Amino acid sequence: MAKAERNYDISKISVVEKTREIKALESKVKTLEQELTIDKPLAEIKKILWANIIQSINDLWPSIQVIYEHIDLVKTSHGAIQQTIAQLGKMKMKPIGLYIF
């Protein structure tokens, strides 16, 4: 009987140890699953993409400013041309004679 009780106790201890090992492994699996979810890599990808987009805009911004400055110059020039055309239209034209020397 003592031998049976001893075997039972050893068996019980073995089960407890195996249960602890299983719980530790389950904990590790949960941790690894959390690390493998797509949220973390997706967040890193978004961060990299936004950094690239912002850098591209910063690189292009001087060109965009020049384009708008040119648009303003074209508008100003167009206005001056229209004003000159209007002034020329009001002028009386003098006949130009041919002078032969």
CA distance 23 to 28: 9
Residue 16 has what pLDDT?
Answer: 82
pLDDT in single tens digits along all 101 residues of the chain: 777 677 766 777 788 888 999 999 999 999 888 777 777 788 899 999 999 999 999 999 999 999 999 999 999 999 999 999 888 888 776 666 655 55
Cα pseudo-dihedral 84, 81, 62, 48, rounded to 10: 150
DSSP 57-76: HHHHHHHHHHHHHHHHHHHH
Residue 35 has what pLDDT?
Answer: 77
